[in-house]
Structure 1
């Protein structure tokens, strides 16, 4: 009870956050409401049955109302276990139904003088304390108001008639209970939203920690791998240049040249991989911030995309308009690499598909540039959509992909005040990137 009173005086935002961080309280309160139905409901049923036995079936309707109330408190709270309704909503609906029954009994019997007040005010008040201290205080006011009318106590100098107080009080409290049920629906939605927000923060925090570790690993790799690669490349080129001086026949010379060229290609590939890793993790200190016209920026994207392996197998088209005036500022090489990564994803996803195509549409709208990248793929499944921007998530072979592409693409875009999203309404696979422009 002290916990609930303290909880009542917390600011709204702290109550929401506390509710989100302590979801076990919902379970505890639900159990208490269910227990109130399990134990109190049958108890009321037993009392009503005894009264019915003592007074006979021709007794007043209060006995039947008592039995109905016992059944109500037995079944409705238990429905929490078998329905999708949140516990607060079930409790408020229970009180609303009880109020309706009480209204039908109180008005004909001359106000709160009927015996039904014993069950349909005190029991809901007791059960509501398990849910909300505010609802309990409302019911406490009902009891005090009913005692005032029963004892003939004046309120503000006016003696309130039982019939009038019954009608007005029941109408007001019925609206309060219905409003409480609606409020419970909103409350449940807000609670779920805060839980999703906290879950997202946990994912981003976990991903950030892993990315920090990966960044340190990338710096070490740059020092321990790139330096030996430079030595290997130098020796390889030395032997390649000296092939003509070797006293061997033409066939052997060609075999040596093929082997050295293959070595050169693989060394360059390893160097490219380590450079890409440095670019992804932000350890690319020589990337300067610069400003380019949007049209020149698109030309850089075209140039880098044209160097991708296997990109010639795709039909790539560019649709641009209004790119002469606007300027884009930032680490241009990294931003270009962002779009190269999206083209790479399309190329890998469409590998071996006949008639595959990729289209880049670029247009400037007021103070931002919109890049729409669409390929001929059939879209991305809903399951993958939910996780594709998470760190280290990949839908492909873990050996082939690192799973950091889209996550870091989004991080880089958001760093410059832009956004990247997947368009699920498009029948093909489509990503939309927006970046701010400067005058």
Structure 2
């Protein structure tokens, strides 16, 4: 290999001297020509090996059943490997081209060596990423913290890589470097504690994809509720919806709990989860005359007919004494109102019917019976979401009186005086 490289780069200078050029001019011109040849050959090597590796990997991916090779392609492993091969050629060629330029040979040799180390680490990272994606498709490993294991391995590899780079730059033996770092590590950790914590946090936030620029997050501890506009080593900046800016320490993103709304924005709907309180004393059985009147409500008319027949059949078969409404089976105004709201929501055009849609009764409280609406809107934009939710509850508040139900309200002076007047 060295013999071939010597023949490739040593022909120019003697030829230029033979043509009568001055030694200095011949030396610099020879250097320029050799660098041009090196760049050209390196580029050709890159193109050839990229074509070969990409085509070979695609052929292997088509012929094999495993998804691992497909994941290697999607993670661009072959692309980075094709960069490595011409770099190795350059690393071998630099000492020969810059043989008479010791200072520049040292600098360029170190730069190429550093680039090779970084590229090898990046290739290893893409392989681990492909391995991670592959394991996530296997049911036995789908719930395992694979990301954490790979992160630990990569941290160790990056530490080794940085050690090699420092050794290359300062020409220090790795053993000596480790000894020196061990002696000053306690002082370094004490002085740069916040910086180290911020660095670790920023790495974890990035690798775990916890927060991205543009995400809507809510962080109650710091009063943040808005979009992330900047993520750096020490802080995360959030522009709140009132256009103020909150600065959050990066380490808090992994040490404290916050809410990221990205999942909601990427989903098929935004949740409505709100309840109203119905007075318990207003809940009662419905009379036949009232049911006939409620049949005029179109969306529950067929439901009332069906339920009446079922209840009548049951009560007849079991000889139920209906002189008291409590006997046997009956329809209540509250139960029928829940059915009405459910049907109303099913007919409401702005709700996602493929997601959960229920009207449910919650645990009774001292203020009444909570009736909760749990559904999802198709439109996730803030202003439209609020309009849809308000429109639904406007209808509920207006329709509840048709079922002779009352909404709980705290008593006021006016309501107390009105009650006294009614008693008089």
TMscore range, shorter length = under 0.3
Per the normalisation by structure 1, the TM-score is 0.26
